[in-house]
Amino acid sequence: MQPFLMTSKMTTIQGVFYPTGYAFVMFPDAQSAEDAGQKIEQAGFTDQHVMFLTPSVILREIGRIDGESSVELPSVGTEGATVHKYINLAREGHHALMIKAPSDNDSERLMSVVRELPFSYAQKYHMLAIEDLE
C-alpha cells in the first residue's frame, strides 16, 4: 500500500476528481482501511495499485479544501455529488483506499474482500459512469 498521489489522469478536463479504472472505498477509521489494504493485497492486488488516503488528504487533494473549511464545491453532476460524499465522510474521520481495478473481474475480486469488512462507501469509476459498489 502506498500513499495517495494525485495525477492529471485522475481528473476531468475541468479538474474534477474522476480516476477512471479505479475503485474508491471509504472506511470508518484508519485501522479498518489499513486492515482492508492488507487483505486486498493478499487477494492479488499489488501494493503499487492500492493507495491509502487520510481524511486530510481527501479534503485537500480531492475536495480541494484547506483544513476544516466549510467552503462547498460547486455541484458538477454525479462527479461533484460523489466528491461531496467523500468530503462529508472525511470530515467525520473516514479514511479511504483507492485501488486500481480496471476490469469487472477486478472489481468483483476487490469487493469480495471489502464486503467482509466495515466499509462506509465504495465507488468504481468507469469511462462514462460512476458505479456504486456494494
Q: How far apart are CA 9 and CA 32, in angstroms?
A: 28
Residue 104 covered by a domain: yes
Residue 12 covered by a domain: no
Interval 54-76 mean pLDDT: 70
**CB contact set of 29 (below 8 Å; sequence gap of 6+):** 93, 94, 95
Residue 56 covered by a domain: yes
26 SS3 class: strand
| Residue 56 grid coordinates | 486530510
| Residue 25 grid coordinates | 472505498
Residue 13 covered by a domain: no
Query: What range defines the domain where residue 22 resides?
Result: 2-7+18-132
3-state helix, strand, coil in the chain (%, to 5): 40, 20, 40
CATH code of residue 111: 3.30.70
pLDDT single digits (tens) 38-57: 999 999 999 889 999 999 99
* pLDDT at residue 78, rounded to an integer: 60
Residue 25 covered by a domain: yes
Number of domains in the chain: 1
Residue 120 covered by a domain: yes
* pLDDT at residue 10, rounded to an integer: 92
pLDDT single digits (tens) 70-113: 444 444 466 678 889 999 999 999 999 999 999 999 999 999 99
